[in-house]
A and B are shown apart, each in its own frame.
Chain A
Amino acid sequence: MTPELISLDHGSGGKIAHRLTAELLLPLFDNPILSDLHDGAVLTLNGNTRVAFSTDTFTVTPLFFPGGDIGELAVNGTVNDVAMCGATPLFISLALIIEEGFPMAELTRILESINRAANAAGVTVVTGDTKVVPKGAADGLFINTSGIGLIPEDVRIGSTGAQPGDKIILSGTMADHGMTIMTQREGLTFDSAIESDSAPLNHMVAKILAASSNVHVLRDPTRGGVGTTLNEIAESSQAGIVLQESWLPMHDAVAGVCELLGFDPLYVANEGKLLAFVAAEDAEAVLAAIRSDTYGREACIIGEVTAEHPNQVVLETRIGGRRIVDMLTGEQLPRIC
């Protein structure tokens, strides 16, 4: 038998990646904070100060793409993970792994972009590290950022709190980031430009929390997309989710590229969107708060939580049929015809 090796599927954010976490990582490091499996860890310090702590590593080809670059992504990604815990992100670290021969001018551009993104999000880079590895040992540049933020006393946001009746709000269009990267990588060009949605969401989260104290879950649907994130929430909350296909917001051009390549937009990465689960009575207020933010103008209610079919996400199609939205298995691969 051939020995098992790590494949790209293990990093896809789908089921195969989950299995790696559940079978290899959790048993070794098991503790109640980690087993929450939220976007960030919630730590209680000094008895009552709650801090959100998160880390993320960024590898993307190409490093520069329409709508952003790896630097901006590295700041926003960690800022958003901290914000999804209901925290105000304050400080981030910055670690660079650079391949020998990397152009200094590109590095400068990326660092300037990091600086701009940190300023926009209102976070300070307070520590960091730089490593250079021999040519071939890395693909240009990898970036790791970690971030911490403070959680206000009255805020309780987790991944397990979805309740039947909750409305589910998506803060804007799906699949923009993932399809932008895909088209750049493959050199596909289209009539209308598509752009990554990379954006900081902490200001939006602050507006959401000011608008309602009945926000039960916040998550940013990055790798694995909206479909996978909703499955994770359904599972950890032991609740069912019903989506309305016709309510799912998408840019036409992105929908077209997905059709063409055979990608299901529900599983394509976003880098500037969040999902909010809110008690029905506060849904309109939260929707208005999200829409008042620069990055939430196209927010929509996309479905709701139900006591039926726990752990399962079901989509009502435009023509009145129903289908299951399962978790992504591995990387989506372009189909043959």
Chain B
Amino acid sequence: MTLQHQEEYRDPQLSRRLIDAIRRTSTRPINLMEVCGTHTMSIFRHGIRDVLPDTIRLLSGPGCPVCVTAQPEIDTFIAYARVDDAIVTTFGDLLRVPGTASSLQKEKAAGRDIRIVYSAFDALKIAQANPDRQVVFLGVGFETTAPTIAASVLSAREMNVTNFLVACAHKTVPTALEALMQSDQVQINGFLLPGHVSVILGLQAYRPFFDQYQVPSVVAGFEPADILEAVRRLVEQIEQGAPRLDNAYGRAVGEDGNPKARSVMATVFEPVDAVFRGIGTIPGSGLRIRPAFAAHDAAIQLPVQVPESREPAGCACGEILIGAKTPPECPLFRKACTPENPIGPCMVSSEGTCAAYYRFHH
């Protein structure tokens, strides 16, 4: 495995030319939202806010998988960890997210068997190695993680690994965009659409959204020049009053995306109304396991008692996730809520907006 091209998209001269073009074109104040947590991180890591003109305000959207996971879902995950003899397998970012009364990290320190994995297939291997224990994989994330997790469920069925269960809390991006456009709390003039998600979905997935709302939308990659080029195209569209659905990440994203990945996803999952932290219930914005695969659905196979969930008092994560507030506007930010002692999920995940502000913003 090698990562090529990365350097050329970090070329200072290319970036300088794009910055100049943006500065020349941008005349009126606009709000652009990056929907993806990896974009948020990249924008901070490369100091992109610093080099943009004052007319452009970048808002961070609901693109951090851990952050949008609703409190009852987090509490359910913690309840799975407390089931005797169960093994909970999870992506690393979820570990520190505070639930109503505990966190997976605290449960782990208290002796519950919680293991960090990089892929659902690692969890499947753990299930094969521990046939007498139930292994729950915590399925969070958008269309980037969902296909692999769906594939792991197909493999589990094929190999008859009956103790492999998925706790499905997946969310989907295009439906969330619609909810953001319907919100009266924030005015968005253009969207930087996520790169990784679009590799799977393709440009076609955004067409119904774009046709309805006619808001400038550009798919962006993750290197500084990728993001600057997408911003440049958004500014141009807005200044010309000519909204388009555009792709500035052509080296990875096509019209159709990855049909095979989408078909695997559609075989195992079906749309369901889901609760986004900060936004509330969005019809059809989540994924659940289809009845045909109920044997691997933790929600069915491993019923748990979840005490009533409470959002942390005073936490503005919800408003921050839709760009209605920036972290410094939250009363807890840097005071009660820090990366060592996070109150809300946006301070936990490395892709969370609060964590990014805390670490990088001066």
Contact = CB atoms under 8 A, between A and B. Distances in A.
Interface residues of B, number: 55
A278 B116 CA distance: 42
Contacts of A139: none
- Of A255, A317, A322, most buried by chain B (CB within 10 Å of CB) is A317
Nearest to B108: A7
Interface stretch (B23-31, B139-147, B208-216, B261-269): B139-147
A5 B358 CA distance: 25
Contacts of A136: none
Contacts of B361: 323-324
A315 B91 CA distance: 29
Given A19-B340, A330-B340, A337 B142 contact: yes
A336 B45 contact: no
A335 interface: yes
A245 to B, nearest CB: 8
Contacts of B349: 335-336
Contact of B96 (A6, A321, A330): A330
Given A253-B2, A324-B362, A319 B12 contact: yes
A337 B340 contact: no
Given A259-B6, A322-B47, A333 B118 contact: no
A271 to B, nearest CB: 23
A276 to B, nearest CB: 26
A256 B351 CA distance: 19
Interface in B3-44: 3, 6, 10-12, 15-16, 19, 38, 41, 44
Contacts of B224: 317-319
Given A7-B105, A324-B362, A326-B359, A319 B350 contact: no
A335 B47 contact: no
A329 B340 contact: yes
Interface in B109-163: 109-110, 116, 118, 140-142, 144-145
Contacts of B51: 319-321
A6 B109 contact: yes
Contacts of A246: 12
Contacts of B308: none
A314 interface: yes
B47 A192 contact: no
A interface residue count range (under 10 / 10 to 19 / 20 to 34 / 35 or more): 35 or more
Interface in B322-362: 339-340, 349-351, 358-362
Given A314-B362, A324-B362, A329-B339, A337 B47 contact: no
A264 B351 CA distance: 12
Contacts of B50: 320-323
Main secondary structure, interface of A, reads loop
- Of A246, A312, A330, A332, most buried by chain B (CB within 10 Å of CB) is A330
A191 B350 contact: no
A223 interface: no
B44 A323 contact: yes
Given A191-B1, A335-B92, A7 B109 contact: yes
Interface string A77-108: 00000000000000000000000000000000
B327 to A, nearest CB: 14
A315 B360 CA distance: 9
Given A5-B109, A259-B3, A337-B196, A320 B12 contact: yes
A319 B339 contact: no
Nearest to A6: B109
19 contacts: A6-B109, A9-B105, A190-B1, A192-B2, A246-B12, A256-B3, A264-B45, A318-B11, A319-B12, A319-B224, A321-B47, A321-B49, A323-B360, A324-B362, A326-B360, A332-B350, A333-B93, A333-B96, A337-B145
Interface of B: 1-3, 6, 10-12, 15-16, 19, 38, 41, 44-51, 65-66, 91-96, 101-102, 105-106, 108-110, 116, 118, 140-142, 144-145, 196, 224, 228, 339-340, 349-351, 358-362
Enumerate the 3 nearest inter-chain pairs by beta-carbon distance, A residue then B residue, closest first: A321-B47, A333-B92, A321-B50
